Structure 1
């Protein structure tokens, strides 16, 4: 909070006639900007102070922000400093307690775009960790301005291209490892992260977080969807069904291992009745379990839904007898989608900071699509989902609607 108060400081100017002129912002120290980002992004249970030693095995994928102090200390990179300011000011230009105007947030964002573009034109031999962190800051600053989903995807693709310029070994330790992020499933396109070397080498020294290991198992799903789009679902129906079955098997294996980490005294999640007694909601052991399980349920829904669609399109396609029990059913996808919505209350707690809402984009989009496709039988659930989105927009997280296209 102290950092936020310092960031709100304004210089007072007086003209020659002794009249107060328009106040202008006093450039805050980078230390305060970084504190603001960590205070607003990292969940309280995972928060660290700037003097903390960076843990070797991060619990959440968003822990990359915790290396910003070290990057700023070791590198006076103008692009990173500009992007850090853009992200921090964007955070503080939204909500009822905002200390910067929206126009100031946009101005800082535009300045950072110019600075990062100039930095990308400069030659470099090793992985440019400062530039990668700058792109991540721009990526999240974009969420507050939501100029367009295309802009967000452009930043995401730029980060993917930047990562691929280096070998997977680069990300095995140190700051690059903390910046090794799992790209979102925003399109039906294959990703380099689905390759075996990218799923194993970056984690040969430091074990992946549960969410990172889950994403590695699910990384093949976009490539299946991409082939269906390119060659036609009917033409590759049998191969796609088998690929989805294999993906589900990997997801189930991951789930078994993850659930085995829980104990009877500390389960991964449990159901609770809401305060108004109208609906149940889900509480989780921690933010790691919440993020991992909501994404697991999303990936299962995506697989099952596409398998149902393939079967409906091509009636002569039948999986093997062993795979028959795994055929998708609308009841299962609806059940999982309801569980995703029951998780919203936990992830939207104030203590989850910005990480909670940003981690909901894919799960909520998946649940919304399930209810929308369910027609009248899912009408009540779809209205519930729309109420959730309305509440998120009211609380300043309108970017989620962009991911859902509503």
Structure 2
């Protein structure tokens, strides 16, 4: 906690006492955590998880900390597995699980590796007492996708050696996830009391000597809904991108018995991803509000990373989207999230 508090203080503009050294408290916390883990006291399980969560949040305020953040997330994943899904149904452990689960699943997306959280046991048991929030319902729907990403990577290495039936099954599974996300988004928009988000004319932040301009931002009723939609759009972009990759790798897919729904997605992927990317970028202003503290800005990393790399790979096309991502990352750095460039850009 001291490491996190000190990092927040030193990264907050105009509130950074010169005598505070967050790294000193950070390394002290790491040493204490190592000692505790070696002792292997089961009663300290919740304390370990909470400590790692604080250290993970601390990492985002250090430069070049992507590797450290990934290490903490992997550590929590291993810690969870030592207790089993049954232990996370209620109490402090349930709250910690709910807090860390988005990080664990998005890390699986980043690494393109399967996660145990995709198993039915880990989807059902932790929420058998308390119903999942919209965010966790979304994660239930996509937790299996990193497994598909891993399979695509394996197929890409030896496409000629891949069983065609396995390719078709994978393509259909991924397409079903995409169609399911689109359907769920429609049901959310029609099933809530009010609109899930609304356009709002907002003044864009201006640099010195640059005139202020206006643009349309998306405004949400709360931060949870903002995170649900920005991540849902992100997962849709990922699914469409991977479907396109499979179709390019195995062209016979679009000539076979694929449904018209799947083919329609393939023919309009660029249009769909551009619209979704614009919506993600237009949502960032809401998440970057000062009242969101650390949690709003930190939740922008995965959506921004997905959009940036999708359009960066296109070269000169849609460079305005890339520029928007870069401008948003600059604002994240100004807010003290010094790791934003390395996490989003990977540079």
1:372-391 superposed Cα distances (whole Å, 9 cap, x missing partner): 12332202222222122222
Q: Which of 136, 158, 162 is the aligned partner of 2:75?
A: 158
Match of 2:223 in 1: 287
Match of 1:72 in 2: none
Tell me how far 1:174 sits from its aligned partner.
0.8
Q: 1 or 2 for the larger relative contact order (CA 8 Å, sep ≥6)?
A: 2
- In structure 2, C-alpha distance between the alignment counterparts of 1:372 and 1:128, rounded to whole Å: 42
Match of 2:316 in 1: 376
Q: Aligned pair 1:360/2:300, yes or no?
A: yes
1:234-276 superposed Cα distances (whole Å, 9 cap, x missing partner): 335433311211211332343244324323xx20001122335
Pair 195,102 (structure 1): closer, same or farther in 2 beyond 3 Å: farther
Pair 255,241 (structure 1): closer, same or farther in 2 beyond 3 Å: same
Q: Aligned pair 1:307/2:243, yes or no?
A: yes
Any conservation in 2 of the 1:94–1:102 contact (CA below 8 Å)?
no
Match of 1:187 in 2: 111
Match of 1:247 in 2: 177
1:342-381 superposed Cα distances (whole Å, 9 cap, x missing partner): 0111100001110111111100111111221233220222
Any conservation in 2 of the 1:334–1:370 contact (CA below 8 Å)?
no
Match of 1:136 in 2: 53
The count of residues paired between Structure 1 and Structure 2 equals 321
Larger helix proportion of the pair: 2
Q: Which of 261, 265, 274 is the aligned partner of 1:326?
A: 265
- In structure 1, C-alpha distance between the alignment counterparts of 2:180 and 2:18, rounded to whole Å: 47
Any conservation in 2 of the 1:89–1:100 contact (CA below 8 Å)?
no
Q: Aligned pair 1:259/2:181, yes or no?
A: no
1:60-107 superposed Cα distances (whole Å, 9 cap, x missing partner): xxxxxxxxxxxxxxxxxxxxxxxx111111111113233444861000
Name the SS for the 2:83 alignment partner: coil
- In structure 2, C-alpha distance between the alignment counterparts of 1:197 and 1:102, rounded to whole Å: 48
Q: Which runs of 5+ in 2 are unaligned?
A: 204-211
Counterparts of residues 11-22 of structure 1 (less than 5 Å) = none
Match of 1:167 in 2: 84
Q: Which runs of 5+ in 1 are unaligned?
A: 1-83
Match of 2:207 in 1: none
Match of 1:393 in 2: 333
Q: Which has the larger radius of gyration?
A: 1
- In structure 2, C-alpha distance between the alignment counterparts of 1:92 and 1:277, rounded to whole Å: 32
Normalized against structure 2, the TM-score is what? 0.87
Any conservation in 2 of the 1:127–1:166 contact (CA below 8 Å)?
no
Of 252-261 and 211-220, deviating more is 252-261
